[in-house]
């Protein structure tokens, strides 16, 4: 289901009918999984109504009881209501959220939003974590649960209640969700109802969200996923566009795990030669950054355009997946699109 009208899914009353300004692809109805077409982006932020959704289970029917239980390796277990949290200093943070299974191409499970809520570090101070607490088990009302190191709570993590200067929509976790900027979206648990401080991480229930590599002896070695990998994508031109030979002002986006993106390089000949793009200034640490590059289209016919980003550590998008990688996560291959030049 794409374009113009996204009719209510999951029983009709959960989301409500919407008018969409952009291409919007529904990959799954229940659990709800949608993608946003970057080619339609206007401005720095993804429209809230078109922000990608990646649910793992059926969505709760409403925002539920407005309370958050925090327990486990803490000195003062508490059930916190909105009034308790509103005493904390608020925070606003612009950040990209990207699904670990996001690939390349215009339809992306990635979006940039202005998030509002409270620093998770301050929320946890209310219960006084013990020194023995090493992990946080985050439970959502949909039954999804993730385990993250306690140290991440000090890395700009938030308990979010607003998105895009409006109350957090139900499909994005109302009344609140976790936000771990710089890390893939599965850790930013929605409909957060309970946090358990623990001495140890949860045992993986499956191979979901693990990097998997096939060793020389045939064994598959698994490890936790890294933070968001440096990435870039085209906004213009669109895949399959028909363009006239000559000057092309290409535009796109780049983002990372919070590490500064130092350069984006763009190619009009499938990666044989590269031109450095101009990066917009003023983006925040976790924002995506817009880029623009002037290219010369000399060859007629089907032409491959490519873009790649390089961060401050010298890490750049690879031309292909690392050898032996057998999972589909953290894919940041060079973005390639084809256009017709006449």
User: What's the pLDDT at 276?
Assistant: 98
User: What's the pLDDT at 4?
Assistant: 30
Q: Is residue 221 part of a domain?
A: no
Whether residue 78 is found in the same domain as residue 156: yes
- The pTM score is 0.91
Domain span at residue 50? Answer: 5-54
Whether residue 73 is found in the same domain as residue 49: no
Whether residue 97 is found in the same domain as residue 134: yes
Whether residue 40 is found in the same domain as residue 72: no
Of 177, 198, 219, which residue is a domain's last?
198
Q: Within 10 Å of residue 42's Cβ, how many Cβ atoms?
A: 10
Whether residue 176 is found in the same domain as residue 273: no
Residue with tokens 């640490």: 285
User: What's the pLDDT at 324?
Assistant: 87
User: What's the pLDDT at 203?
Assistant: 84
Are 16 and 8 within 8 A, CB to CB? yes
Whether residue 193 is found in the same domain as residue 79: yes
User: What's the pLDDT at 10?
Assistant: 40
Whether residue 177 is found in the same domain as residue 260: no
Q: Is residue 59 part of a domain?
A: no
CATH assignment of the domain containing 278: 2.60.40.650
CATH assignment of the domain containing 108: 3.90.420.10
Whether residue 27 is found in the same domain as residue 105: no
Q: What residues in the chain have per-residue pLDDT under 50?
A: 1-22
Whether residue 254 is found in the same domain as residue 318: yes
Spatial separation of the C-alpha atoms in residues 154 and 170, rounded to whole Å: 26
Of 198, 215, 239, which residue is a domain's last?
198
* Count of domains for the chain: 3
319-334 confidence digits (pLDDT tens): 998 888 999 999 999 9
Q: Is residue 60 part of a domain?
A: no
75-130 confidence digits (pLDDT tens): 999 999 999 999 999 999 999 999 999 999 899 999 999 999 999 999 999 999 99
Whether residue 71 is found in the same domain as residue 144: yes
What are φ and ψ of residue 289, in 5° steps? -115, 135
Dmax over Cα atoms in the chain, in whole Å?
A: 70
Whether residue 81 is found in the same domain as residue 180: yes
Whether residue 90 is found in the same domain as residue 178: yes
Q: Is residue 125 part of a domain?
A: yes
């Amino acid at each position: 289901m794409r374009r113009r009208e996204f009719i209510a899914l999951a029983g009709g009353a959960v989301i409500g009918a919407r008018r969409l300004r952009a291409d919007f692809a529904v990959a799954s109805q229940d659990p709800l999984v949608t993608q946003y077409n970057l080619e339609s982006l206007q401005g720095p932020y993804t429209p809230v109504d078109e922000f990608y959704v990646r649910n793992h289970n059926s969505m709760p029917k409403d925002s539920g009881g407005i309370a958050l239980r925090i327990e486990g390796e803490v000195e003062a277990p508490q059930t916190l209501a909105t009034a308790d949290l509103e005493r904390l200093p608020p925070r606003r943070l612009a950040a990209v959220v990207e699904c670990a299974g996001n690939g390349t191409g215009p339809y992306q499970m990635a979006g940039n939003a202005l998030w509002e809520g409270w620093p998770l570090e301050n929320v946890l101070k209310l219960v006084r974590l013990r020194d023995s607490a090493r992990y946080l088990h985050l439970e959502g009302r949909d039954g999804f649960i993730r385990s993250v190191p306690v140290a991440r709570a000090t890395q700009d993590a938030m308990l979010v209640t607003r998105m895009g200067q409006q109350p957090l929509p139900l499909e994005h976790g109302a009344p609140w969700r976790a936000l771990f900027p710089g890390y893939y979206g599965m850790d930013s648990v929605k409909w957060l109802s309970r946090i358990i401080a623990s001495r140890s991480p949860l045992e993986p229930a499956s191979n979901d969200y693990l990097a998997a590599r096939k060793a020389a002896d045939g064994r598959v070695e698994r490890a936790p996923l890294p933070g968001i990998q440096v990435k870039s994508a085209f906004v213009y031109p669109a895949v399959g566009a028909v363009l006239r030979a000559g000057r092309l002002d290409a535009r796109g986006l780049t983002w990372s795990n919070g590490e500064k993106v130092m350069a984006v390089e763009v190619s009009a000949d499938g990666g044989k030669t590269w031109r450095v793009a101009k990066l917009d200034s003023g983006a925040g640490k976790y924002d995506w950054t817009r880029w623009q590059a002037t290219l010369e289209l000399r060859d007629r016919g089907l032409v491959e355009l490519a873009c790649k980003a390089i961060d401050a550590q010298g890490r750049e998008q690879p031309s292909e997946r690392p050898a032996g990688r057998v999972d589909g996560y953290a894919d940041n291959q060079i973005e390639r699109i084809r256009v017709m030049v006449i």
